[in-house]
């Protein structure tokens, strides 16, 4: 009896199984899944100051200050970060010092904020606010002498202010404002034998002022002023304890000023007497007692002071080099280091200052050629086992990386250029070569089964501690995700990032390792001024089909200087190897880069570069691309946003160009312009759709089986303007005087499709535009909360295409071409909601076919990334949705957007100083790859509607196998049983 | 977190009027640069040593206090205190960022008319604060909690259900059959023989 129903039952149950599995896949991750599909990397940025712990403390640590406004303590053995604080960019760090051997003092915001951090763990101990005029070059001087006061004083000078702060609790001991107008304190130094502090400042262009102050009270003991003939440019260095070296206004000679006596005595030395072929700018650097370094573009000269009498050149380095500050070795000995490039190596030279001509150490170190020149050296010494002094040095390279050099070797290196990513693009990996041996497969199968048995044990809680560890290691290691070949799901890719230093690096999405890096020669500048800057990175060639065998390539676009008329620079790199295939200096400037969707026959993408004369230049310059372009030229329009003049202009292209004979140059014609009234509106943000965005369907079927047609136009531009008073920070404007206007503009015709005013709202505005909707974030001054608003735009002209009969008979307008010139009938829906946090960046998930529902990726003020379902930002939400609407999945309206901690894609990580979020579609429709960058990097895979098209790694194959076995066994068992029973019945 | 000594319970909402029209002499010296100052001082208080919260030490060392959406950022001291100096009169917003905790932003009104008066309220709950002590509204757990293994969860899984149902059919059904009165059984079998229940029949019936 039992046998027959089993068939139907099995089918039923199998169906059940499939359904159940689809619904049990979790959106959030479990703690033990951290690191499976995501990685997080911490960086600090380019080091500009480094202070070593004293040897006595026994800790091998160094505290650094970086250009990314990070203060951090690093392990000297490995380069790992012990602690780190990323200070806001509004609060730039100026100086760093150690005090009492247990505090790190940092001076920031132009000498107005002094903070003390606990050296071992980085906890902030105190913070003192100083009332000074912010100075570009504040000084921080820790008084070394314990005789002065019990609480070690720290002297801060900024502009004409000077403060003495106790380093124990941050209380201000004394303060002094010098009466001399325009005074800027340049140097503060302490007399070693008495309690006198010398402060040397420059007032105006020529006046030198010297103050002798009492260290205890700040009382002025002596005040000497002297005017120097020819004026001063403001650059000064200390030559020795009693000698100041100042550059004159013409930057042609040096003043050697003795300030220890009763009056200032000085002597003038022409630089041309010292260094012959001096061209361009140069820089002075104090090395140590009696030795200064003069740095020009290509050379460094070490100059020795002979009192005020003059200077002599001790040594000259003609290769790019860097000199460290002096390091006190013993009572009388100071050492300093010079790093010099010699061929492909760098030379590490250490000298004592009292005998500059001889060298203590000369080591040659091999260094990766893609790091560029040495920019800074920080020398440190250690005691060897034989009680002699050994030397090591931290070296900052041109690509912002940090190396530790010791005994002729690079002990460790940090790729801190990655803290300043400018732009990101992606590249596919090479296709896997066929020919996988059978043995490999068998081995893999065995391993695979073993892994799954282990996992099953874990699920059933049968695994012991070792096995649990093995399971975790197995999952994290998963060699599969780190392969250098393309995978079926498109999870493995190269993230190609461009950094501020002009270095391009390719990171593997599997584990974030660097596959290749290249410091682009065309973006390397001189040491002073004229620095080329890399701006954007684009995909240049993405081969398909016929030219599949060629490697893809990327294009790096930059400027050769800071000014707007500086010519542009192109560099094309191979995406697989990082080799520079081609680089060129454009003969025109670069204002706007427009990547086109067109490709030429070799699959190179066409790019239009608009110069400052409003001419457009086509790249690549090949007849083939020109053909493709000319064919489409009449359909090409572009727009430009001028924030200064508050104008948006639309342009079309024309064949002729002012430059004769250049057929790749096109003139532009202004078609329309929207001038916003400057007294009431300021452009805050413009946003457009991502060029590579894929939309699955135009129609949207709503609850009552009605159809709405999305207004899908690639030319839709969102513009938000704020009233001038509301352009500042929160707290600076009253609700009555603040307003925000949101526009939807068609970029071809300049027609304003929609305009909405939010009264009492102000920036900062962040927006994201996708498909037919725009979401923007702003501050509501009336409610004093942040708000997010959504605008959806629908095409009404297609609204009557609902009748199936009409579709069949052909009386529909679906096939009518869409043109921007026709007046569109659009319907707009909008809604706004409260949102708790400030936002740093906003983006939206992109998937391969655009079927998967979208999530907004919101970088919050806490440097986390929140994935918020677009369903929460649906203008059709209402407080009491009807049954139909509920079925459609409309969420009942709430006044604020929910923040579920489990929807933070960064989970417990923070992407410090978050700047950008990039979503890259994988081949698998359900999944998108999310890369977030700031000072840190974070990468993860995200499935906005859960992974409906694949089984997750979590899927227990072993359990499935066991179930099948049990089922089969049961079938056999029941069959035998029923047979027996039947037999028994027959015998009866 | 850091120790909380009893004195912290005193009034924490301090208003230091650094500049007033009265003090021109010595105080005016304070007014260098951007010195037009009120000071917002307060305290971040993270209670309850949550050792269970995913191994993150509940320290204030990484607690940032943010004024006006990033205009100024400061750090909480070990005892939780923080201060913003030279804040102009007006309505300001303070946010606290501390991983693992959810803080409501706080609206802070500094009155220009009666100096010395600061009002603070949580924007999320509209609760007015008598003193500027910022406490997290809730802890944030970023991970889904893995259900501890239980026989029930295994049985509840689709495969467990399959196996369970199977076992039920195999062992319990025959027993139930046996318990049925033999005559009734016979009757039922008769009925079955007369109009056999086939799968296709079932299907057609379902469709009909």
Highest mean pLDDT, choosing among A297-306, A710-719, A951-960: A710-719
Name the residue facing A17 among B99, B158, B169 (closest C-beta). B158
Residues 6+ apart with CB under 8 A from A902: A27, A28, B141, B142, B143, B144
Lowest mean pLDDT among A3-17, A102-116, A813-827: A3-17
Give the helix/strand (H/E) hosting A628: helix A623-632
CB A426 within 8 A of CB A920: yes
A660, pLDDT greater than 80 = no
pLDDT for A505 equals: 93
The Cα–Cα gap between B72 and B92 comes to 11
Exposure letters A646-682 (e unless 16+ CB within 10 A, then b): bebbbbbbeeebeeeeeebbbbbeeebebebeeeebb
CB A754 within 8 A of CB A769: no
> Could you give the angle at the alpha carbon of A47 between the alpha carbons of A41 and A53, nearest 5°?
100
* Residue A787: band (very low, low, confident or very high) from pLDDT cuts 50, 70, 90: very high
CB A772 within 8 A of CB A793: yes
Could you tell me which residue, A696 or A919, shows the higher pLDDT?
A: A919
| Locus of tokens 């973006």 | A523
Torsion of CA A532, A533, A537, A541, to 10 degrees: -10
Cis peptide before A764 (omega within 30 of 0): yes
Cα–Cα nearest to A320, from A375, A363, A283, A273: A375
Q: Between residues 113 and 132 of chain B, which touch chain A (CB distance below 8 Å)?
A: 123-124
Token code pair at residue A758: 């939010």
Q: Cβ contacts (< 8 Å) between A34 and chain B: which residues?
A: 143
pLDDT for A839 equals: 92
pLDDT for A843 equals: 94
**Mean of pLDDT values over A159-166:** 86
pLDDT for A312 equals: 81
Token code pair at residue A422: 């400018």
CB B60 within 8 A of CB B3: no
Pairing between strand A773-780 and A785-795? antiparallel
CB A928 within 8 A of CB A944: yes
Could you tell me which residue, B207 or B151, shows the higher pLDDT?
A: B151
B69 interfacial to chain A (CB closer than 8 Å): yes
Range list of β-strands (E), chain B:
38-44, 64-67, 72-75, 81-87, 90-97, 101-102, 106-110, 118-122, 128-129, 133-134, 138-139
Lowest mean pLDDT among A6-15, A65-74, A703-712, A867-876: A6-15
pLDDT for A460 equals: 65
**Mean of pLDDT values over A498-508:** 91
Residues 6+ apart with CB under 8 A from A762: A722, A723, A726, A727, A730, A733, A738, A740, A778, A779, A781
A666, pLDDT greater than 50 = yes
pLDDT for A545 equals: 62
Distance from CA of B79 to the nearest CA of A (A): 9
Token code pair at residue A700: 């949207």
**Mean of pLDDT values over B49-74:** 67
Chain A residue with minimum CA distance to B79: A125
Name the residue facing B162 among A1, A17, A781 (closest C-beta). A17
The Cα–Cα gap between A372 and A539 comes to 25
Could you tell me which residue, A364 or A953, shows the higher pLDDT?
A: A364
A163 interfacial to chain B (CB closer than 8 Å): no
Token code pair at residue A848: 């391969």
pLDDT for A588 equals: 87
The Cα–Cα gap between A618 and A637 comes to 14
Q: Between residues 908 and 927 of chain A, which touch chain B (CB distance below 8 Å)?
A: 908, 910
* Residue A12: band (very low, low, confident or very high) from pLDDT cuts 50, 70, 90: very low
pLDDT for A954 equals: 66
A251, pLDDT greater than 70 = yes
The string of pLDDT tens digits covering residues A344-377 is 888 898 888 777 778 888 888 888 888 888 888 9
Q: Between residues 132 and 191 of chain B, which touch chain A (CB distance below 8 Å)?
A: 140-146, 148-149, 154, 157-159, 161-163, 165-167, 169-170, 173-174, 177
A11, pLDDT greater than 70 = no
Compute the count of residue pairs across chains A and B with CB atoms less than 8 Å apart. 194
| Locus of tokens 């040594």 | A315
Within 10 angstroms of residue B206's Cβ, the number of other Cβ atoms is: 7
**Exposed, middle or buried: residue A461 (CB in 10 Å: 0-12, 13-18, 19+)?**
exposed
Half-sphere exposure of B166 (CA within 13 A, CB side): 25
Distance from CA of A735 to the nearest CA of B (A): 10
A195, pLDDT greater than 90 = no
Mean pLDDT in chain B? Answer: 69
Query: What is the percent of chain A with per-residue pLDDT over 90, rounded to a whole number?
Result: 24
CB A416 within 8 A of CB A398: no
The Cα–Cα gap between A396 and A339 comes to 11
Asked if B105 lies within 8 A of A460 by C-beta distance, the reply is: no
Name the residue facing B77 among A88, A126, A461 (closest C-beta). A126
Within 10 angstroms of residue A207's Cβ, the number of other Cβ atoms is: 18
Alpha helices in A633-753 (DSSP H): none
Lowest mean pLDDT among A310-319, A523-532, A827-836, B118-127: A523-532
Pairing between strand B38-44 and B133-134? parallel
**Mean of pLDDT values over B17-38:** 38
Sheet holding A124-129, edge to edge: A93-99, A103-108, A113-118, A124-129
**Exposed, middle or buried: residue A115 (CB in 10 Å: 0-12, 13-18, 19+)?**
buried
CB A114 within 8 A of CB A170: yes
**Mean of pLDDT values over A458-463:** 67
Asked if A131 lies within 8 A of B30 by C-beta distance, the reply is: yes
Backbone angles phi, psi at A805, to 5 degrees: -60, -45
**Residues forming a β-bridge with A828:** A793
A748, pLDDT greater than 60 = yes
Q: What is the largest distance, in Å, between two alpha-carbon atoms of chain B?
A: 115
**Mean of pLDDT values over A303-309:** 77
**Mean of pLDDT values over A879-908:** 87
CB A506 within 8 A of CB A495: yes
B48 interfacial to chain A (CB closer than 8 Å): no
pLDDT for A24 equals: 37
**Mean of pLDDT values over B183-195:** 77
**Mean of pLDDT values over A265-275:** 78
* Residue A246: band (very low, low, confident or very high) from pLDDT cuts 50, 70, 90: confident
Distance from CA of B199 to the nearest CA of A (A): 7
pLDDT for B31 equals: 33
SS3 assignment, position A52: strand
Q: Between residues 183 and 202 of chain B, which touch chain A (CB distance below 8 Å)?
A: 199, 202
Residues 6+ apart with CB under 8 A from A979: none
Could you tell me which residue, B135 or B204, shows the higher pLDDT?
A: B135
Token code pair at residue A185: 């304190």
* Residue A774: band (very low, low, confident or very high) from pLDDT cuts 50, 70, 90: very high
Token code pair at residue A756: 């909405």
Sign of the torsion formed by the C-alpha atoms of A267, A270, A275 and A278: positive
Mean pLDDT in chain A? Answer: 82
Distance from CA of A476 to the nearest CA of B (A): 17
Q: Between residues 59 and 88 of chain A, which touch chain B (CB distance below 8 Å)?
A: 83, 85, 87-88
B20, pLDDT greater than 50 = no
pLDDT for B19 equals: 33
pLDDT for A506 equals: 93
The Cα–Cα gap between B160 and B151 comes to 9
């Amino acid at each position: 009896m039992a046998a027959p129903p089993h068939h139907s039952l099995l089918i039923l149950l199998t169906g059940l199984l499939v359904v159940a599995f689809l619904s049990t896949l979790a959106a959030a991750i479990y703690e033990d899944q951290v690191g499976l599909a995501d990685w997080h990397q911490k960086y600090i940025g380019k080091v500009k100051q480094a202070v070593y712990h004293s040897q006595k403390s026994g800790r091998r640590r160094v505290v650094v200050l970086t250009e990314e406004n990070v203060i951090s303590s690093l392990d000297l053995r490995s380069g790992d970060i012990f602690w780190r604080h990323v200070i806001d960019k509004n609060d730039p760090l100026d100086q760093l010092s150690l005090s009492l051997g247990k505090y790190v003092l940092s001076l920031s915001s132009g000498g107005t904020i002094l903070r003390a951090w606990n050296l071992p763990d980085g906890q902030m101990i105190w913070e003192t606010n100083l009332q000074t005029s912010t100075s570009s070059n504040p000084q921080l001087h820790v008084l070394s002498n314990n005789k002065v006061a019990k609480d070690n004083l720290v002297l801060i000078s900024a502009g004409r202010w000077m403060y003495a702060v106790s380093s124990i609790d941050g209380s201000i001991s004394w303060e002094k404002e010098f009466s001399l107008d325009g005074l800027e304190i340049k140097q503060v130094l302490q007399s070693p034998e008495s309690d006198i502090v010398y402060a040397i400042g420059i007032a105006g262009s020529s006046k030198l002022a010297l103050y002798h102050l009492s260290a205890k009270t700040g009382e002025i003991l002596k005040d000497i002023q002297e005017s120097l003939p020819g004026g001063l440019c403001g650059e000064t260095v200390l030559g020795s304890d009693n000698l100041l070296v100042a550059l004159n206004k013409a930057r042609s000679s040096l003043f050697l000023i003795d300030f220890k006596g009763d009056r200032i005595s000085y002597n003038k030395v022409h630089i041309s007497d010292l260094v012959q072929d001096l061209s361009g700018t140069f820089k002075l650097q104090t090395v140590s007692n009696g030795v200064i370094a003069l740095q020009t573009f290509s050379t460094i000269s070490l100059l020795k002071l002979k009192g005020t009498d003059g200077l002599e050149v001790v040594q000259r380095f003609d290769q790019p080099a860097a000199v460290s500050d002096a390091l006190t070795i013993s009572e009388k000995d100071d050492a300093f280091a010079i790093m010099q490039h010699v061929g492909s190596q760098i030379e590490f030279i250490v000298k004592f200052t009292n005998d500059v001509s001889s060298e203590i150490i000369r080591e040659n170190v091999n260094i990766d050629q893609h790091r560029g020149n040495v920019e800074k050296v920080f020398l440190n010494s250690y005691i060897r086992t034989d009680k002699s002094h050994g030397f090591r040095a931290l070296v900052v390279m041109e690509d912002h990386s940090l190396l530790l050099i010791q005994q002729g070797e690079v002990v460790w290196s940090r790729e801190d250029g990655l803290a300043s990513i400018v732009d990101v693009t992606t590249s596919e990996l090479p296709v896997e070569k066929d020919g996988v041996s059978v043995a490999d497969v068998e081995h893999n199968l065995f391993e695979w089964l073993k892994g799954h048995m282990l996992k099953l044990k874990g699920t059933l809680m049968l695994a012991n501690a070792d096995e649990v560890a093995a399971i975790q290691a197995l999952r994290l290691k998963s060699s599969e995700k780190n392969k250098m070949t393309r995978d079926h799901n498109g999870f493995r890719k190269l993230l190609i990032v461009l950094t501020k230093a002009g270095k391009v690096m390719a990171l593997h999405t599997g584990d974030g390792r660097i596959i290749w890096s290249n410091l682009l020669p065309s973006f390397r500048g001189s040491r002073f001024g004229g620095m080329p800057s890399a701006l954007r990175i684009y995909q240049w060639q993405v081969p398909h089909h016929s030219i599949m065998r060629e490697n893809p390539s990327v294009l790096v676009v930059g400027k050769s200087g800071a000014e707007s008329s500086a010519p542009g620079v192109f560099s094309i790199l191979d995406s697989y190897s990082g080799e520079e295939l081609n680089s060129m200096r454009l003969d025109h400037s670069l204002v706007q880069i427009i990547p086109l969707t067109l490709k030429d026959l070799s699959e190179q993408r066409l790019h239009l570069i608009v110069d400052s004369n409003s001419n457009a230049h086509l790249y690549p310059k090949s007849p083939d691309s020109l053909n493709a372009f000319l064919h489409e030229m009449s359909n090409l329009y572009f727009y430009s946003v001028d924030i200064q003049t508050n104008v948006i202009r639309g342009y079309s292209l024309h064949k002729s160009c002012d430059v004769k004979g250049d057929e790749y140059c096109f003139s532009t014609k202004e078609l329309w312009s929207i001038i916003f009234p400057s007294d009431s509106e300021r452009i805050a943000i413009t946003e457009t759709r991502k060029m590579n965005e894929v939309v699955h369907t135009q129609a949207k079927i709503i609850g009552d089986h009605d159809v709405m047609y999305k207004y899908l136009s690639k030319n839709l531009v969102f513009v938000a303007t704020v009233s001038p008073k509301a352009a500042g920070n929160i707290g600076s404007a009253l609700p009555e005087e603040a307003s925000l206007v949101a526009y939807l503009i068609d970029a071809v015709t300049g027609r304003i499709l929609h305009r909405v005013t939010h009264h009492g709202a102000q920036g900062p505005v962040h927006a994201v535009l996708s498909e037919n909707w725009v979401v923007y974030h702003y501050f509501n001054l009336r409610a004093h909360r942040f708000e997010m608003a959504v605008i959806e735009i629908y095409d009404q002209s297609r609204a009557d295409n609902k009748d199936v009969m009409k579709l069949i008979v052909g009386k529909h307008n679906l096939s009518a071409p869409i043109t921007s010139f026709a007046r569109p009938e659009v319907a707009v829906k909008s809604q706004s909601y409260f949102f708790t946090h400030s936002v740093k960046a906003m983006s939206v998930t992109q998937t391969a076919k655009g079927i998967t529902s979208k999530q907004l990726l919101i970088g919050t003020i806490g440097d986390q990334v929140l994935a918020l379902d677009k369903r929460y930002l649906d203008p059709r939400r209402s407080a009491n949705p009807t049954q139909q609407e509920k079925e459609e999945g409309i969420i009942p309206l709430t006044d604020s957007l929910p923040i579920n901690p489990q929807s933070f894609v960064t989970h417990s990580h923070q992407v410090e100083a978050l700047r950008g979020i990039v979503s890259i579609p994988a081949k698998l429709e359900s999944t998108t790859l999310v890369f977030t960058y700031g000072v840190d990097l974070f990468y993860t895979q995200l499935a906005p509607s859960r992974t409906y098209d694949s089984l997750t790694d979590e899927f227990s194959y072993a359990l499935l196998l066991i179930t099948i076995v049990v089922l089969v066994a049961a079938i056999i068992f029941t069959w035998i049983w029923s047979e027996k029973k039947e037999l028994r019945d027959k015998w009866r | 977190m850091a120790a909380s000594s009893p004195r912290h319970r005193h009034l924490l909402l301090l208003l230091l009027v650094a500049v007033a029209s009265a003090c021109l002499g010595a105080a005016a010296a304070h007014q260098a640069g951007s010195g037009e100052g009120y000071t917002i001082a307060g305290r971040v208080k993270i209670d309850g040593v949550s050792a269970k919260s995913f191994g993150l030490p509940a320290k204030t060392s990484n607690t940032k206090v943010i004024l006006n959406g990033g205009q100024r950022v400061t750090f909480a001291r070990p005892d939780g205190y923080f201060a913003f100096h030279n804040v102009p009169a007006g309505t300001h917003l303070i946010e606290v960022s501390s991983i693992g905790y959810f803080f409501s932003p706080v609206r802070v009104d500094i009155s220009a008319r009666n100096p010395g008066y600061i009002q603070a309220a949580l924007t999320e709950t509209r609760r007015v604060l008598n003193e500027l002590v910022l406490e997290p509204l809730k802890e944030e757990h970023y991970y889904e909690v893995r259900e501890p293994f239980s026989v029930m969860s295994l049985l509840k899984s689709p495969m467990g259900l399959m196996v369970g149902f199977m076992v039920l059919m195999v062992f319990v059904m025959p027993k139930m059959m046996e318990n049925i009165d033999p005559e009734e059984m016979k009757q039922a079998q008769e009925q079955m023989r007369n109009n056999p229940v086939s799968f296709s029949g079932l299907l057609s019936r379902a469709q009909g």
